[in-house]
Amino acid sequence: MQISAWKIRENRERVREAVAAACGACGRAPDAVRIVAVTKYVDAATAKLLVDAGEEDLGENRPQQLDEKRRILANQAIRWHLIGHLQRNKVRLAVPACSLIHSVDSLQLLQSIDSASRAASVVSAVLLEVNISGEGAKQGFSASQLPGVLEKAAPLSGLRIQGLMAMSGLDCGPAEARRQFDAVRELRDRMTAAFGPSFDLAELSMGMSGDYSEAIAAGATLVRIGSRFFEP
């Protein structure tokens, strides 16, 4: 995809304004929500145009692509977010590359990230992906699995669970998306009440190009926006 630097700048202004407007509409401060610019559609040179325009948080859904872009853009100040499924055999690649792994969807994966992180003497920041839409094809823990996962995660010193990540169901309209995002926030609040200070689940990664307003109204702290940045 070829897209000019000025078009990227213009799109970026629009995304920033739209996210600020969505915050304003529900009485949240504009800096309460961090934008993760998803660069999976474009090459490293195009991703760099976004960094030049001021974006600092970039997201990729595949660890190989994340690592490749990270190497090419190594001299840029970028926080890299892994937002897609992580296979256990890619954990050692992802751990040193990621500032936040959004998509932890199994206990085995959590344990692999823990051991790889301890081996590398780092503490990995992760989110637990929850399957809130109930669709069979979607990754993520069910709401009922979450207490057991948090209990088993509590002693793992190689990682810090910072919150939850979710996607609304395919083809659901704004009202249903809002309902699902509200359910994620309520789930987080219940887990916080149940586990107390052993976890700080402040982050809610939810909302994409089509449903960020609903996610922000429901309490998202991270929105993962891709296509809007690259509109022709």
60 and 41 Cβ atoms separated by less than 8 Å: no
The window from 68-76, 91-99, 142-150, 204-212 that contacts ligand PLP (CB under 6 A) reads: 204-212
Which has the closest alpha carbon to 81: 52, 106, 102, 107?
102
Residues 6+ apart with CB under 8 A from 1: 41, 42, 46, 230
Which of 71, 202, 227, 231 is in the footprint of ligand PLP by CB under 6 A? 227
DSSP of 153-175: HTT-TTEEEEEEEE-PPTT--HH
Q: How far is the CB of 138 from ligand PLP (least distance, A)?
A: 10
Q: What size, in residues, is the chain?
A: 232
**# residues contacting ligand PLP (CB under 6 A):** 12
Strands (E), 76-229: 79-82, 100-104, 124-129, 159-166, 203-206, 222-225
In the chain, the N- to C-terminal Cα span, in Å, equals 9
CB of 23 to ligand PLP, least distance (A): 17
Closer Cβ to ligand PLP, 4 or 227, answer by number: 227
Name which position in 7, 40, 79, 118 contacts ligand PLP (CB under 6 A).
40
- For residue 193, the minimal CB distance to ligand PLP (Å) is 28
- What does the per-residue mask of binding to ligand PLP show for 74-103, with x meaning CB under 6 A? ---------xx-------------------
- Piece in contact with ligand PLP (CB under 6 A), picked from 119-127, 145-153, 185-193, 223-231: 223-231
The residue within the footprint of ligand PLP, chosen from 33, 37, 38, 218 (CB under 6 A), is 38
Those residues whose C-beta lies under 8 Å from the C-beta of residue 46, and which sit 6 or more positions away, are 1, 3, 8, 39, 230
Task: Check binding of 63 to ligand PLP (CB under 6 A).
Answer: no
What are the residues binding ligand PLP (CB under 6 A)? 38, 40, 61, 83-84, 208-210, 224-227
